[in-house]
Amino acid sequence: MTEFDDALTITNGRAELGEGWIVGQAVNGGVLMALATRAATEALAAHDPAPAHIDPVAFTTTFLTAAQPGPAEVTAEVLRAGRSFSTVAVTIGQTGRTCLTHTTTFGDLDAQSEPVHRAAEPPSMPDPEDCIRAERKGFGAPITLLDRLDLRIDPATAGWAEGRPARDGELRAWVRFADGREPDTASLPFFLDALPPVSVTLGAEGWAPTLSFSGHVRGRPAPGWLRIRLTTSNVIGGLFEEDATIWDSRDRVVAQSRQLAGVRMPAAPGASSTAPRAGMPAAPGASSARPSDPSQPDGNA
């Protein structure tokens, strides 16, 4: 069993949130969404041992408080089991506090991923070996998540890591699991939230808590690298939206998402809180963390 699959293991309504999936002081929200989707999948299978559909096609998550490494309680309820779609609600909590609520809609990707009438083209990017590898060495806060990823950031969108944010609201990268685990529908919720927040490209760092997250699974990914593009168009007050699209190694759109998150922009126009990184010139660091709770500025969701 891979580390990721181990992180999604649920036994008698309990899961262990491991130290290997944290940024700062909190468990990555993408791992939590993948865990919640796994719980929903298992609940639907238990409700009907031969379900007509078992593929997650859409999910919505509301983050309420940051999750810490350690035991977690996972509950799931089948809200509807239909002929074309089914819906399951999941709650993940710790020590009596709800960390998130999550709803997954299931369908049949064999029927719903074809034909393709219109699809976004993948962005032009250098090959992974010509992109910048993100590593956690040289940073004070723990970013163990990066040890489990092979994350290569497009140099054209990595200026923020050297104190030169492009301010265009776009971040592009290649990503895969470091241990060779191939992508699948179970891992797509994680990959949709595995990168630094796109707000770093605007010169903002630090506090970027996700308030709500909606994701769509559009197809089963082929083996190999995933290509991800993050964008934002509206940064208003202390909130911004982040749109993500994932293409697989065959250049097919396999997942997309939108989240609303908090942001602290530089105090003055033209000012940047982004400083060069110690140890690795263009890799995401602890200050680009995205916690899942506005009251917990350390972590990543």
Q: 272: phi > 0 → left, psi -120 to 50 → alpha, else beta; which?
A: beta
Residue range(s) defining the domain that contains residue 102: 3-108+127-288
pLDDT in tens, 238-260: 999 999 999 999 999 999 999 99
- DSSP for 88-145, please give it: EEEEEEETTEEEEEEEEEEE-HHHHS-S-S--PPPPP---GGGSEEP--TT-SS--GG
Compute the average pLDDT of residues 228-237: 96
Q: Nearest Cα to 40, choosing from 2, 92, 90, 91? A: 90
Q: What is the pLDDT of the chain when averaged over all its residues?
A: 87
77 inside domain:
yes
Whether 117 maps to a domain, the answer reads no
Residue 212 CA: distances (Å) to CA of 13, 198, 215: 24, 16, 10
How far is residue 301's CA from residue 274's CA, in Å, rounded to a whole number? Answer: 20
* Arithmetic mean of pLDDT, 54-78: 97
C-beta neighbour count of 224 within 10 angstroms: 14
In this prediction, residue 72 carries a pLDDT of 98
Asked if residue 161 has pLDDT above 60, the reply is yes
| Domain CATH number, residue 132 | 2.40.160.210
pLDDT of residue 218: 96
Query: Of the given ranges (58-67, 184-193, 286-295), which has the lowest mean pLDDT?
Result: 286-295
pLDDT of residue 269: 52
Q: Is residue 256 part of a domain?
A: yes
Number of domains in the chain: 1
Q: Is 260:210 a contact under the CB 8 Å cutoff?
A: yes
What is the Cβ-side half-sphere exposure of residue 18, based on CA atoms within 13 angstroms? 15
Query: Does residue 293 belong to any structural domain of this protein?
Result: no
pLDDT of residue 223: 98
The CA-to-CA distance between both ends of the chain, in Å, stands at 24
Q: What confidence score (pLDDT) does residue 23 get?
A: 82
- Flag the least confident range among 20-34, 79-93, 135-149: 135-149
The pair phi, psi for residue 36, each rounded to 5°, is -65, -40
Residue indicated by tokens 């190999």: 224
Q: What is the mean pLDDT of residues 126-132?
A: 97
Residue 292 is predicted with a pLDDT of 40
Residue 301: what pLDDT?
37
Residue 301 lies in a domain: no
Q: pLDDT for 271-299, tens place per residue?
A: 544 433 322 333 333 333 454 433 343 34
Query: What band does 48 get if pLDDT is binned at 50, 70 and 90?
Result: confident
Whether residue 103 is predicted with pLDDT greater than 90 in this model: the reply is yes
Show Cβ contacts of residue 74 under 8 Å, excluding neighbours closer than 6 positions: 10, 13, 14, 15, 35, 36, 39, 90, 91, 92
With contact defined as beta carbons under 8 Å apart, do 62 and 95 qualify? no
Q: Which whole number is the average pLDDT over 159-185? A: 95
Q: Kindly state whether residue 276 falls inside one of the protein's structural domains.
A: yes
Kindly state the tokens that stand for 24: 């700062």
- Residue indicated by tokens 């069993």: 1
Q: In this model, does residue 99 exceed pLDDT 70?
A: yes
147-150 long-range contacts (CB < 8 A, ≥24 apart) are 147/20, 147/178, 148/3, 148/4, 148/20, 148/21, 148/177, 148/178, 148/179, 149/175, 149/176, 149/177, 149/178, 149/194, 150/174, 150/175, 150/176, 150/177, 150/178
In a domain, 119, yes or no: no
Q: Per the domain annotation, does 85 fall within a domain?
A: yes
